[in-house]
Structure 1
Amino acid sequence: MPESGEQQQSPREGSSSEARESRFESTGHIPGMRFQPVFATSGKDPLDSVIWEQREARMMAPNRAPELITGIEAPGTWSQEAVNALTIFLNEKDRRSFRAVIARVANTITELGRSEDYFRTNEDAEHFNADLQYLLVHQMATFGHSVWMNVGVKNNPQCAQTFINSVNDSVESILDLAKTEGVLFKYGAGSGTNFSSIRSSRETLSDGSKASGPIAFLRGFDAFAGVFNNGRKNRPSAKTAILNADHPDIEAFIDCKADEEKRARALLDAGYNREAGDPYETIAFQNEQHMVRLPDEFMRALERDDRWHTRTVSDGRSGEPVKAKMLMDKIAQAVHLCGNPGIQFDTHINQWHTCSASGRINASSAFSETFFLNDTACMPGQLNLSAFLDKEGNPDTNRLRDAVRIMVTALDILVGHSSYPTENIAENTLRFRPVGLGCANLGSFLLSQGLAYDSDSGRAFAAVLFAIITGQAYLTGTELARACGTFSGYDQNRNAFLRVMEHHLRAVFRIDKTVVSRDLMLLASGIWESVKDEGEKYGFRNAQTTQVSNDVRMAAVMGCSAVGLDPLPNLLRYRRPVGGGMVKYIDSNVRNALTRLSYPEGNIAKIMAYLEEFSRLEGCPDLKESHLGVFDGAVPAPGGKRHVHYMAIIGMIAAVQPFLSGAVAKTVVVPEKTSDETIQQTIV
């Protein structure tokens, strides 16, 4: 529970009765959800479906000696990296038995759901519980670290990880935000905030003195986040600061982080002694990401090579005009130098806003996977896409849909039994109930199908896959609405919500049908037709359902080779035994891909031998040149030149984005020698 002085708000502490009773607001609903056994064998303990062993874990943390943990009860099938990843989330008692931890989390969620009438019968609850445990122990799905740490240990623990905070143009509000972020950072959560409401340094205060402007306060917020980064061993704080393009301080905001980068480089060029400390610890803005918010009006001004007007915060007067091209040039130069600021396209974001009647989307979470209303939190979870293949190696869409249904239900239960750092966040989160189910291992999944990441077929396949996932997530939301009631803000936003569902449905019909199987297309379109029909009748339980995070540790717990939408790093895997050293082996999906591409077994053996010897497939005489793209990784193999181009990653994000509630958290890495002009073209 929160320590003295912290203001964590539980669903029953600091939330309105309207938010607390959202599940009773639908009419004609049928109490409880039905669940049949899908993954676990009925009547058997799902945790007995794996072999348990005594394992060890090596916990690594910056500026700390490695810590060896012994005597951990963990599945023998889990990789060492997966054991390490879950161990770091757990306290000393819990890390002794993963079996007990998985049972604790699943049992607690089930009992909380039972207490809120989520299940039609006790038998339905038991089926849900067994399948949830099966998904977790077989690394098919996972929750965020806060759930592993706290659910079943504390009453109403903080379970959400992505928070969108607000700030107003007052010292009190600014200090309140600092306090809120401190509580979030303590529990390993992240914070995203739009600071455009703070008047600029070009404006005056009520007493006639000059305003400090948001950048001055951001220096303080950055230093505050750094304090928590230095003290945490399991998860550093994450923070994003956003500024609108029409804020009078936008030029200074674009430059501020790049200017600090120049300062650090100047210290190094002058012979700064690294033994005296890291020069980057002496400069500002190293603990937060910066984002610029661009509306369509700015992009049109850029196309016309026109001027762009800023507006004062205090009275909305038009400021001194600047060339839109000049601002974009500054952005590209800063990105080239330090990777910041990122870009958020404001108009497009709000066109896909399910709850626009309740306000605009002004900000994102720290890593920009969650885009929603101010003062809300999102409950994250993930699926391991590679776990949903049938015995022939084909996508098992039935099991995938069942897993989505179970995970969305579990995440929705947690929303109502989590604590939140402020009363506003508690009230708004319960009012809208956003959840964020994501996926990892797309790169591995595409390889298993013999599809090149950088190909029309790869992008179309990913698009239809995420159309199925998000469609099923919203379809589950209609089931939950029928059984437990809609989210309480639904009636006000019904028209906007159904309009966005129509956007998703239309996007399905824009997928390239020439490179995707007819069965998958029919399934995806059928799901979204059902979403539309069922949503019109029963409404929805969750304002948002899906997003793609870049959470490396969530992916590691599931044993994934690639995070989120990333391509595979390469075709080789390296296992780190606890005793030290490194064991190299070939990704199992290489053989699957070769089989899918109709190579005879004799050729497959030769290709695998070549890969084993040279660590690459370039130059392999038994592999068709036209198939090389299937095996391209994110980085060139040793001695090779081929790799997935960064524009292919952007293309994949574009293919999947129409089938997400939120967004894709992804830093696109470009070569150091990339020109400012190319970076600008990449952005737009």
Structure 2
Amino acid sequence: MFLDDTACNLASLNLLTFWNGQELDAALYVHAVKLWTLTLEISVTMAQFPSKEIAQLSYDFRTLGLGYANIGGLLMNMGLGYDSAEGRALCGALTAIMTGTAYATSAEIAAELGAFAAYDRNRESMLRVIRNHRRAAHGQAGGYENLAVKPVPLDHANVPDARLSELAMQAWDDALSLGEAHGFRNAQTTVIAPTGTIGLVMDCDTTGIEPDFALVKFKKLAGGGYFKIINQSVPAALDKLGYSSAEIEEVIAYAVGHRTLGNAPGLNHTALIGHGFGPEEIEKIEAALPQAFDIRFVFNQWTLGEEFCTGTLGIPAARLNDPGFDMLRHLGFTRAQIDAANDHVCGTMTLEGAPTCARSTSPSSTAPTPAARRVSASSRSRATSP
């Protein structure tokens, strides 16, 4: 969305590092933006580019790519739905602060080193863009210069922290006043990058601008097998919304599973004993469950042994070797019983429908609380309206 044959060096701030559990450290966030704008400006002359044309234009316009990651993780920790009015307003405020501060810093650098080479012939157009951004940061509905499509202004009424509203407006006031006085060292300062691999390196619960793609993830272990974990922002979000420790554990178990058939509904140790399973076979089943994606994958001759399956359970060898054979259905368990046990053991992979989230935390109320609805909304992997 910029000029052809230009490139920018990327850097992303992990937004969750500015959250102390109670509030966002706005001053530290602004300081980090200033520091990294200067760092990226220095890196322009150190960068290597794939062609002469890209190198020349990137040098002439000194394009930067500062951005942020983990907005989804931050919103969860704050107890805000990803697609809530507060969530969108917070995202707008953080973006406005970052870009406005970066341009103000760029103007300060220009006061010392001069504006980018192509600034003079673009001065009026660039200042017009900065003025339009300033109007949007101040929440103005009109007055934009030479725009066919009006921008969505910052929703100050729904920004959850008034300090962020003030900082957003101040950042763009500074960007305009300093830019008018000194020009800008960089034609472009910010971009919201996908931050896929970098997000993992920074230990982000979510990546760039998007919500979490899955609340429950599988990590492959170096010694073999898989380990199932929930997004670590989920317990913090539930705690922020007022859920007790026992309720949080219940919700997490609902999502990732209990990893045992011990207390599963319908299909459990007692039911298996009734079909001829002994302590040794149940132990084998239990040992395999923590790494199972589906309990059906555990009930087979490789887990239990062919002799037990054909002898004790009486399953013909031909059926046992059939790729479509379902041992649990063969033993008489219904599809509903298997699905219920599967959710209990392997988890539902979501928070929606969890017993604790589906009701109020107050015993006197039967309707879901706003907090419960927000947890459900922030668990969604798509930005649907809560």
Report the TM-score range of the alignment, normalised by the length of the smaller protein.
0.5 to 0.7
2:254 is matched with which residue?
610
Q: Does 1:514 align with 2:144?
A: no
Q: Structure 1 residue 594: deviation in Å? A: 1.7
Q: Structure 1 residue 463: deviation in Å? A: 0.7
Matches within 5 A, 1:411-430: 411-430=40-59
1:661 is matched with which residue?
none
Whether contact under 8 Å (1:435, 1:544) holds in the other structure is yes
Counting helix residues as a fraction of each chain, which structure ranks higher?
A: 2
1:162 is matched with which residue?
none
Whether contact under 8 Å (1:453, 1:630) holds in the other structure is no
Cα distance in structure 2, aligned partners of 1:467 and 1:374: 25
Cα distance in structure 1, aligned partners of 2:381 and 2:195: 21
Q: In structure 1, the residue corresponding to 2:81 is in which secondary structure? A: coil
Q: In structure 1, the residue corresponding to 2:39 is in which secondary structure? A: helix
Q: Which of 203, 207, 210 matches 1:566?
A: 210
Q: In structure 1, the residue corresponding to 2:103 is in which secondary structure? A: helix
Q: In structure 1, the residue corresponding to 2:157 is in which secondary structure? A: coil
Cα distance in structure 2, aligned partners of 1:491 and 1:595: 53
Q: Which of 444, 450, 458 matches 2:87?
A: 458
Whether contact under 8 Å (2:68, 2:192) holds in the other structure is yes
**Cα deviation 1:42-90 (Å, max 9, x = unaligned):** xxxxxxxxxxxxxxxxxxxxxxxxxxxxxxxxxxxxxxxxxxxxxxxxx
1:385 is matched with which residue?
15
Whether contact under 8 Å (2:63, 2:189) holds in the other structure is yes
1:485 is matched with which residue?
114
Whether contact under 8 Å (1:448, 1:589) holds in the other structure is yes
Whether contact under 8 Å (1:570, 1:632) holds in the other structure is no
Cα distance in structure 2, aligned partners of 1:609 and 1:377: 46
Q: Does 1:553 align with 2:197?
A: yes
Q: In structure 2, the residue corresponding to 1:575 is in which secondary structure? A: strand
- Structure 1 residues 457 and 633: alpha-carbon distance in aligned structure 2, compared to 1, 3 A threshold: closer
**Cα deviation 1:454-488 (Å, max 9, x = unaligned):** 22111111111111111121122122112322112
Amino acid aligned to 1:386: L
Whether contact under 8 Å (1:447, 1:589) holds in the other structure is yes
1:472 is matched with which residue?
101
1:596 is matched with which residue?
240
Q: Does 1:542 align with 2:171?
A: no
Whether contact under 8 Å (1:610, 1:617) holds in the other structure is yes
1:630 is matched with which residue?
375
Q: Structure 1 residue 554: deviation in Å? A: 2.0
1:177 is matched with which residue?
none
Give the aligned CA root-mean-square deviation in angstroms.
2.3
Q: Which of 531, 535, 539 matches 2:175?
A: 531
Q: Structure 1 residue 520: deviation in Å? A: 1.4
1:376 is matched with which residue?
6
Q: Structure 1 residue 608: deviation in Å? A: 3.5
**Cα deviation 1:186-215 (Å, max 9, x = unaligned):** xxxxxxxxxxxxxxxxxxxxxxxxxxxxxx
Cα distance in structure 2, aligned partners of 1:583 and 1:541: 48
Q: Which of 419, 434, 437 matches 2:63?
A: 434
Whether contact under 8 Å (2:251, 2:356) holds in the other structure is yes
Q: In structure 2, the residue corresponding to 1:424 is in which secondary structure? A: helix
Whether contact under 8 Å (1:379, 1:411) holds in the other structure is yes
Q: Structure 1 residue 544: deviation in Å? A: 0.3
**Cα deviation 1:521-557 (Å, max 9, x = unaligned):** 1111111111111111222111001112224222222
- Structure 1 residues 620 and 373: alpha-carbon distance in aligned structure 2, compared to 1, 3 A threshold: closer
Q: Structure 1 residue 646: deviation in Å? A: 5.6
Q: Structure 1 residue 397: deviation in Å? A: 1.8
Q: Structure 1 residue 566: deviation in Å? A: 1.1
Cα distance in structure 2, aligned partners of 1:535 and 1:645: 39
Cα distance in structure 2, aligned partners of 1:421 and 1:571: 38
Cα distance in structure 2, aligned partners of 1:601 and 1:557: 30
- Structure 1 residues 610 and 645: alpha-carbon distance in aligned structure 2, compared to 1, 3 A threshold: closer
Whether contact under 8 Å (1:382, 1:440) holds in the other structure is yes
Q: Which of 345, 353, 357 matches 1:619?
A: 353
Cα distance in structure 1, aligned partners of 2:114 and 2:351: 54
Whether contact under 8 Å (2:76, 2:378) holds in the other structure is no
Q: In structure 2, the residue corresponding to 1:416 is in which secondary structure? A: helix
- Structure 1 residues 612 and 533: alpha-carbon distance in aligned structure 2, compared to 1, 3 A threshold: same
Whether contact under 8 Å (1:393, 1:448) holds in the other structure is no
Amino acid aligned to 1:580: G
Q: Structure 1 residue 645: deviation in Å? A: 4.0
Matches within 5 A, 1:81-160: none
Matches within 5 A, 1:189-228: none
Cα distance in structure 1, aligned partners of 2:203 and 2:243: 28
Q: Does 1:396 align with 2:37?
A: no
**Cα deviation 1:403-455 (Å, max 9, x = unaligned):** 22222212111111223344333322111100111222121111111111122
TM-score (norm 1): 0.37
Whether contact under 8 Å (1:575, 1:583) holds in the other structure is yes
Give unpaired runs (5+ residues) of structure 2: 140-152, 258-346, 360-367
Q: In structure 1, the residue corresponding to 2:156 is in which secondary structure? A: coil
1:43 is matched with which residue?
none
TM-score (norm 2): 0.64
Amino acid aligned to 1:402: H
Q: In structure 1, the residue corresponding to 2:356 is in which secondary structure? A: coil
Whether contact under 8 Å (2:217, 2:231) holds in the other structure is yes
Amino acid aligned to 1:395: L
Matches within 5 A, 1:245-256: none
Cα distance in structure 2, aligned partners of 1:491 and 1:373: 17
Whether contact under 8 Å (1:405, 1:473) holds in the other structure is yes
Cα distance in structure 1, aligned partners of 2:48 and 2:255: 50
**Cα deviation 1:493-539 (Å, max 9, x = unaligned):** 12111111111111121322222132211111111111111111222
Whether contact under 8 Å (1:452, 1:632) holds in the other structure is yes
Amino acid aligned to 1:533: S
Q: In structure 1, the residue corresponding to 2:188 is in which secondary structure? A: coil
Q: In structure 1, the residue corresponding to 2:158 is in which secondary structure? A: coil
Amino acid aligned to 2:120: D
Q: Structure 1 residue 568: deviation in Å? A: 0.8
Whether contact under 8 Å (2:205, 2:232) holds in the other structure is no
**Cα deviation 1:190-242 (Å, max 9, x = unaligned):** xxxxxxxxxxxxxxxxxxxxxxxxxxxxxxxxxxxxxxxxxxxxxxxxxxxxx
Give unpaired runs (5+ residues) of structure 1: 1-370, 635-642, 649-684
Amino acid aligned to 1:596: K
Q: In structure 2, the residue corresponding to 1:376 is in which secondary structure? A: coil
Q: Which of 228, 233, 240 matches 1:584?
A: 228
Amino acid aligned to 1:514: A
Whether contact under 8 Å (2:62, 2:186) holds in the other structure is yes
Cα distance in structure 2, aligned partners of 1:618 and 1:372: 41
- Structure 1 residues 462 and 375: alpha-carbon distance in aligned structure 2, compared to 1, 3 A threshold: same
